[in-house]
Amino acid sequence: MTDRPYRPSNGTEGAIFEERWCQRCAREDVDKDDLCDIHGNALFGDPPTEWVYKDGKPTCTAFTVDARCEPRCDETMEMF
Amino acid sequence: MTKPTTTGLTITRADLIRALAATSKVVESRNTYPILANVHMQAQDNRLTVRATDLDIEISTSVPCQGALDPITAPARTLSEIAKKLPDGADISIEPTGETLIVKAGRSRFVVATLGADAFPDIAPAELPHRFTTDLGALLGRVSFAISNEATRYYLNGVYLHNPNGKLTAVATDGHRLGKITGAAAQDLPGVIIPTKMVGLVPLGDVEVELSDTKIRFSYGDTVVVSKLIEGTFPDYERVTPKNNDKTATFDRRQLLDTTERVSIVASDRGGKGVKIEVAADSATLSVRGENDAAQEDLPCEYGGDPFEVGYNARYLGDILRAYSSDKVTFAWRDSCSPALVTGEGDALVSVIMPMRV
């Protein structure tokens, strides 16, 4: 079964997704304004097939950890 | 336009490199305002003062020179590259000519575009009422592992400095882990949040600190750093700091760190590097289950309670263990769903780590 595609429903939701995935992904160089193809397509072209719901959460299946800014752990409980 | 009153200066290569290296740390590679890529230079009384800013932080330093220079700004990166490429021991002359600087050394001659100094921002505060001297770098550096990088929770993007019980205390947290260290006795201070970038600029050793509600300045040698503070309310961290955790296990810190790093090799890299710790009488087992792989390793510990298991993000656990310098660390738990208190033998650092579901 294929995963259900994810589309941000508004700009704020899109910005939250970008902060969680794109800005922490090795495929993208924020310092050089270098968007990856998937992110670029999401903004200007075809909806990317890599953006899907996994376990009910928006996910990018092409995400590659950028050692400089690893993502926040979704499984760890929150203090506040 | 004011007519230049000076003809330029001569400075040693080493001094120019030192001044530019100290100040350029704050110059961003990309800038909305072109002048922020420049350093502000002014020389009088045979001292060259170089200043750089990113609008949040300003660094200034002064070095000896011969001659004088009216205020001018020039690209930090270009000047640094020129100075670094010139031969050791070179004397560099810098002369303003119209809207350029002529930089000469030996047979080399460079023309560098400048921008007027009038437009260069000055964030230096008028008054900083609180003043003290302390090893600020040692305090901030020990808890920096827990600083959040989430832009949405901007008030966690720094270290909270305050003085509960009359002692200077630094705290950082990202909501998953927390580091707190208490230093020397201090006067009454406002609680302030020092931004991450500033934390990285504070050197080890005593610095003179001046503070207000909105800005901090510290000085060492000929260098002065001023930073805006993060405006926001730091969370009540005492509320989440465990007080009565009764299950305590003491580990050899290095051994626990090495074991954590080994077993987490097989973990997935999607933020779910969960390591499970199972403690029983005087032994513990660390295990990780990846998508298709698994790893497990036993290690000794001092524990006398009922068998107990808890899970942590391996990266968080590693960061906390690396923050300590003591040989032994002690974890105190209440249950597997509550924060654990981590302390080091003879170490002022106290940490809290939240569990994850593994």
Q: B81-98 pLDDT, tens per residue?
A: 999 999 999 999 999 998
* Residue among A31, A69, A75 minimizing CB distance to B272: A75
pTM above 0.90, yes or no: no
Q: What is the mean pLDDT of residues B40-61?
A: 95
Contacts of B316 in chain A (CB under 8 A): 73, 76
Q: Do B150 and A78 touch (CB under 8 A)?
A: no
Over the stretch A34-43, which tens digit does the pLDDT of each residue have? 778 898 888 8
**Which B positions 324-353 lie with beta carbon below 8 A of chain A?**
337, 339, 352
- Reduced to 3 states, what is the DSSP secondary structure of residue A43? helix
The yes/no answer to whether this complex scores an ipTM above 0.90 is: no
Q: Residue written as tokens 């400095």?
A: B161
Quick one: pLDDT at residue B3? 44
Dihedral, B26, B32, B34, B38 alpha carbons, nearest 10: 0
Q: What is the mean pLDDT of residues B138-154?
A: 92
Of residues A11 and B259, more confidence is placed in B259
Helices (H) and strands (E) in chain A, counts: 2, 2
Residue A79 near chain B (CB below 8 Å): yes
DSSP 8-state secondary structure symbol assigned to residue B320: H
Q: What is the mean pLDDT of residues B109-118?
A: 94
Over the stretch B166-175, which tens digit does the pLDDT of each residue have? 999 999 999 9
Terminal alpha carbon distance of chain A: 37
Does residue B258 contact residue B314 with C-beta atoms inside 8 Å?
A: no
Which phi and psi angles does B203 have, rounded to 5°? -80, 160
Residue A71 near chain B (CB below 8 Å): yes
Residue A75 near chain B (CB below 8 Å): yes
> Which site among A76, A77, A78, A80 would you substitute to test the B interface, given the most B Cβ atoms closer than 10 Å to its Cβ?
A76
Over the stretch B272-298, which tens digit does the pLDDT of each residue have? 578 999 999 889 999 998 777 899 999
Residue B123 near chain A (CB below 8 Å): no
Nearest CA in chain A to B336: A77
Q: Do A70 and B240 touch (CB under 8 A)?
A: no
Neighbours of B45 (CB within 10 A): 7
Contacts of A31 in chain B (CB under 8 A): 29-30
Over the stretch B210-240, which tens digit does the pLDDT of each residue have? 999 999 999 999 999 999 999 999 999 999 9
Rg over CA atoms, chain B: 25
Is the pLDDT at A1 greater than 70? The verdict is: no
Is the pLDDT at B332 greater than 80? The verdict is: yes
Residue A73 near chain B (CB below 8 Å): yes
Contacts of A57 in chain B (CB under 8 A): none
* Residue among A19, A73, A79 minimizing CB distance to B313: A73
Residue B2 near chain A (CB below 8 Å): no
Q: What is the mean pLDDT of residues B33-41?
A: 94
* Residue among A19, A64, A79 minimizing CB distance to B151: A19
Rounded CA-CA distance B355/B358 in Å is 9
Rounded CA-CA distance A14/B112 in Å is 42
Instruction: Count chain A–chain B contacts defined by CB atoms under 8 A.
Output: 65
Is the pLDDT at B186 greater than 90? The verdict is: no
Q: Where are the alpha helices (DSSP H) in B145-300?
A: 196-199, 253-263
Q: What is the mean pLDDT of residues B136-159?
A: 93
Residue B176 near chain A (CB below 8 Å): yes
Rounded CA-CA distance A38/A33 in Å is 14
Residue A12 near chain B (CB below 8 Å): no
Rounded CA-CA distance B116/B124 in Å is 19
Rounded CA-CA distance B347/A19 in Å is 36
Quick one: pLDDT at residue B118? 93
> Which site among B29, B30, B31, B149 would you substitute to test the A interface, given the most A Cβ atoms closer than 10 Å to its Cβ?
B149
Q: How far is the CA of B211 from the CAs of A64, B128, B216, B228, B279, in angstroms?
A: 41, 5, 5, 10, 46
- Reduced to 3 states, what is the DSSP secondary structure of residue B285? strand
| Lowest-pLDDT range of A56-65, B50-59, B224-233 | A56-65
The model's confidence at residue A31, banded by pLDDT at 50, 70 and 90, is low
